[in-house]
């Protein structure tokens, strides 16, 4: 790339960033310094897989890996994409690991490209960029009002790990480190990057590898670091969010992540609810699905198995799951050429928006990404470039060049994120289930004076539903997205919900 072209691109990015900072819909936010539990429930996270997301520097990147992406992703690509990410209405970004994996030193460059087998926890992977790039990324994200979460691998690593600045190393088997012997090392990792880059927390890989007692100490170290920074007047690096990946059922997530009385992690990904969501609107990875809308009530009710105060994080896809678009086609439903494909995406995203607790949007889900032809391959075998269920979603990212259908889905997500941001009932409200039938699911959500009914029709045909005004203590309903109003008729509210659609009804 010539110096003049680099200058032009740099000017263009700076201009777009400056313009975005002044747009009313995307105005700069500052961290809300209220109770941390409320902070994390308000999170709307955008996840990117670094090696496959965006190529911003032709001199960086792994060049090969798992999945069908270009494998040229780097930190510069994420920096360039930050205005677009902010425009979606999210307020945080999570990146897969960016620490040095020792590119080419092992026998599996695909593993190295993922970042999940670090060699040096205190050095940015040169294949992704430099420490200065990482600092620019975090600072730029903060200027846009986005929290930044790094990905922590605290239970396994590459064969030999470089010592920390304090001379510590993890202890035990590289595939399963020993605790509590490894605790001093990982406490140093967890707090070091909060000061070094002002990061706002951690996503924690295979969190079941770390005992709850160790998570308690790591959490306390992070919380103490955040308190020190708040006391020093720091604006960022004070949230200390921690979310664990435990790909199990509710009982295992409670035992290995949250711990008794929430002594461990404050948040874990809600795999059980995610599976019920895709089973309702499509199928899960093993083909099980076509379930009634009542499965959503079942999934939400299962959250009662978590300790009081736990904040499960709901997602539709991640880098280890099959994209929702491919699951729609695996269910035997039409693909992108049919309007119902896009309606199923809208329905799934609406459910995320209506669910209390932090939520995560995986890059590409906002424009209905899928891998053409993947559904027609055998489900139990990999094909073309080693494409399997556990890495089919690692496609190249995009921030422009969208079709009208993709743009419409993005715009719908923006309206959902704006609605969720403005209505506390959606992101932290108590829920009262009103309907859970074959195709209709409806929850009444309340937080203080904010009251809303979320109703989803998972069927293909319009359905008219009725709500008892006494149960919701309301005299009028108003659709929060199109302002249509509904008055009491024959003792009830009567609302028509189109097929594969959701309504957000403000109770007045």
User: Is residue 291 within 8 Å of 459, Cβ to Cβ?
Assistant: no
Residues 220 and 186 in one domain: yes
How high does pLDDT run on average in the chain?
Answer: 92
pLDDT digits 0-9 by tens, 470-498: 999 999 999 999 999 999 988 999 999 99
**Cα→Cα distances 50→94, 115, 150, 161, Å:** 10, 9, 11, 21
435 closest CA partner among 304, 291, 294: 294
- Domain, as residue range, for 485: 433-507
- Kindly tell me if the per-residue pLDDT of 22 is higher than 50: no
How many C-beta atoms surround the C-beta of residue 89 within 10 A? 23
What pLDDT is attached to residue 39? 85
The enclosing domain of 485 has a CATH number of 2.60.40.1180
Residues 289 and 257 in one domain: yes
Residue 224 dihedral angles phi and psi, to the nearest 5°: -65, -40
Residues 35 and 117 in one domain: yes
pLDDT digits 0-9 by tens, 121-159: 999 999 999 999 999 999 999 999 999 999 999 999 999
* DSSP structural state of residue 302: G
Q: How far is CA 155 from the centre of its chain?
A: 22
42 closest CA partner among 431, 427, 451, 311: 427
Q: What residue spans of 266-403 are helical by DSSP H?
A: 271-281, 294-301, 324-330, 339-353
The fraction of the chain above a pLDDT of 90, given in percent, is 86
The answer, yes or no, to whether the previous bond of 180 is cis (omega within 30 of 0) is yes
What pLDDT is attached to residue 302? 95
Residues 384 and 249 in one domain: yes
What pLDDT is attached to residue 489? 85
User: Is residue 377 within 8 Å of 386, Cβ to Cβ?
Assistant: no
What pLDDT is attached to residue 490? 84
Q: What distance in Å separates the CA atoms of residue 406 and residue 241, rounded to the nearest whole number?
A: 31
What pLDDT is attached to residue 420? 97
What pLDDT is attached to residue 172? 96
pLDDT digits 0-9 by tens, 203-261: 999 999 999 999 999 999 999 999 999 999 999 999 999 999 999 999 999 999 999 99
To the question of pTM greater than 0.85 for the whole model, the response is yes
The enclosing domain of 306 has a CATH number of 3.20.20.80
Residues 329 and 440 in one domain: no
- Cα end-to-end span (Å), the chain: 58
Crossing angle of helices 3-22/75-87, nearest 10°? 30
pLDDT digits 0-9 by tens, 421-461: 999 999 999 999 999 999 999 999 999 999 999 999 999 99
In a domain, 24, yes or no: no
| Interval 342-351 mean pLDDT | 98
The last residue of a domain, from among 401, 422, 443: 422
- Give the count of domains, the chain: 2
Give 255's strand partners.
Answer: none
- Kindly tell me if the per-residue pLDDT of 38 is higher than 60: no
The SS3 call for residue 222 is helix
- Kindly tell me if the per-residue pLDDT of 31 is higher than 80: no
């Amino acid at each position: 790339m010539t110096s003049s072209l680099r200058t032009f691109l740099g000017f263009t990015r700076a201009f777009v960033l400056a313009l975005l900072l002044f747009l009313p819909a995307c105005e700069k936010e500052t961290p809300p310094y209220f109770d941390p539990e409320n902070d994390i429930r308000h999170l709307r996270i955008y996840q990117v897989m670094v090696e496959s997301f965006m190529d911003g520097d032709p001199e960086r990147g792994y060049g090969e890996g798992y999945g069908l992406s270009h494998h040229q992703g780097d930190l510069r690509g994420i920096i360039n994409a930050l205005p677009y990410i902010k425009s979606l209405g999210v307020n945080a970004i999570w990146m897969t690991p960016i620490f040095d994996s020792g590119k080419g030193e092992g026998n599996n460059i695909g593993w190295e490209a993922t970042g999940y087998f670090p060699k040096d926890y205190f050095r940015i992977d040169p294949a992704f960029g430099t420490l200065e790039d990482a600092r620019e990324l975090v600072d730029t994200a903060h200027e846009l009002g986005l929290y930044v979460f790094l990905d922590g691998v605290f239970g396994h690593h590459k064969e030999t790990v470089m010592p920390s600045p304090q001379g510590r190393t993890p202890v035990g088997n590289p595939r399963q480190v020993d605790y509590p012997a490894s605790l001093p090392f990982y406490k140093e990792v967890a707090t070091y990057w909060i000061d070094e880059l002002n990061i706002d927390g951690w996503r924690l890989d295979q969190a079941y590898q770390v005992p709850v007692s160790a998570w308690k100490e790591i959490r306390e170290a992070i919380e103490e670091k955040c308190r020190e920074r708040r006391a020093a007047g720091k604006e960022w690096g004070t949230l200390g969010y921690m979310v664990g990946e435990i790909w199990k059922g509710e009982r295992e997530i409670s035992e290995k992540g949250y711990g008794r009385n929430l002594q461990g992690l404050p948040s874990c990904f809600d795999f059980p609810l995610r599976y019920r969501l895709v089973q309702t609107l499509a199928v899960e990875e093993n083909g099980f699905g076509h379930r009634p809308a009542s499965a959503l009530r079942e999934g939400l009710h299962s959250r009662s198995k978590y300790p009081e105060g736990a904040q499960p994080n709901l997602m539709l896809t991640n880098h280890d799951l099959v994209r929702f678009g491919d699951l729609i086609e695996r269910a035997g439903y039409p693909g992108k050429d049919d309007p119902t494909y896009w309606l199923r995406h809208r329905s799934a995203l609406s459910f995320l928006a209506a669910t209390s607790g932090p939520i995560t949007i995986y890059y590409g889900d906002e424009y209905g990404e899928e891998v053409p032809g993947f559904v027609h391959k055998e489900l139990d075998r990999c094909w073309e470039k080693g494409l399997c269920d556990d890495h089919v979603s690692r496609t190249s990212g995009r921030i422009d060049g969208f079709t009208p259908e993709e743009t419409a889905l993005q715009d719908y997500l923006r309206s959902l994120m704006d609605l969720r941001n403005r209505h506390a009932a959606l992101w932290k409200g108590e829920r009262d289930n009103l309907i859970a039938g074959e195709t209709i699911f409806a929850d009444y959500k309340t937080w203080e004076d904010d009251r809303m009914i979320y109703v989803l029709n998972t069927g293909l045909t319009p359905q008219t539903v009725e709500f008892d005004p006494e149960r919701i203590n309301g005299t009028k309903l108003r659709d929060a997205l199109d302002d249509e109003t509904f008055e009491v008729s024959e003792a009830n509210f009567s609302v028509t919900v189109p097929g594969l659609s959701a309504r957000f009804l403000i109770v007045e």
